[in-house]
Amino acid sequence: MKYKHIVFDIDGTLIDTEYAILHSLQETIRVLSGRAIPCSELTFALGITGIDALKKLGIKNISYAIELWDKNMCKYADNIKVFDGINGLLKNLLSLDYEMGIVTSKTREEFTHDFCQSGISHYFKTIICADDTPEHKPNAAPLLKYVELSKTDHRKALYIGDSKYDSKCAENAGIDFALAVWGSHNKHVKADYYIERPADLLSVIT
């Protein structure tokens, strides 16, 4: 088999959190600054750390803003769902003896709040969150940390994500990249593979 490790981003790849992220961020900014920013102008926040997103928005008290954003995110928990076809894909990958991992811009706390309740976290062995590296996507550090902890060869790993940050992280780490077209805003992101729906991944790697 060409790949042994199939590594996933979370937001926009495994679970659909876009509505929850954008509306909770919109609410957070409104409380902190009084600004009413349309969600369409906040999509840059998808795929980077919450801290980086808030810095781009000029927020001063980042730690308080993150805490408020997390509280607001909880209000939209019912809008978060696993993408159609992901459960079946993960079961098939497990049966074919692939090892699955995660590299995400979420902090460990955000990972616990947003992802662990999805019912699919048990599939993943090595999980790299924003807390685990000093530098984040699009820097190579998160994927290189994954390679280190999983004790794999970078040529045996395939990273799947939905954004240009994911693509650049993989490129910088020398790891092949597949674009999760089902969750991506930009279908022209550089990728080795373009996967229209989760089930299509199997035909690419087997």
36-88 confidence digits (pLDDT tens): 999 999 999 988 889 999 999 999 899 999 999 999 998 998 899 999 999 99
Query: Under CATH, which architecture does the 5-16+81-205 domain have?
Result: 3-Layer(aba) Sandwich (3.40)
pLDDT at residue 31 in the model: 94
Tell me, yes or no, if the pTM score tops 0.85.
Answer: yes
pLDDT tens-digit readout, 116-169: 788 999 999 999 999 999 999 999 999 999 999 999 999 999 999 999 999 999
pLDDT at 109: 87
Residue 188, judged by CB atoms within 10 A of its CB (0-12, 13-18, 19+), counts as exposed
What is the pLDDT, as a whole number, of residue 195?
Answer: 97
The predicted structure's pLDDT at residue 34: 92
Which string of DSSP letters, residue by residue, matches 164-181? HHHHHHHHHHT-EEEEEG
pLDDT digits (tens, 9 = 90+) for 57-71: 999 899 999 999 999
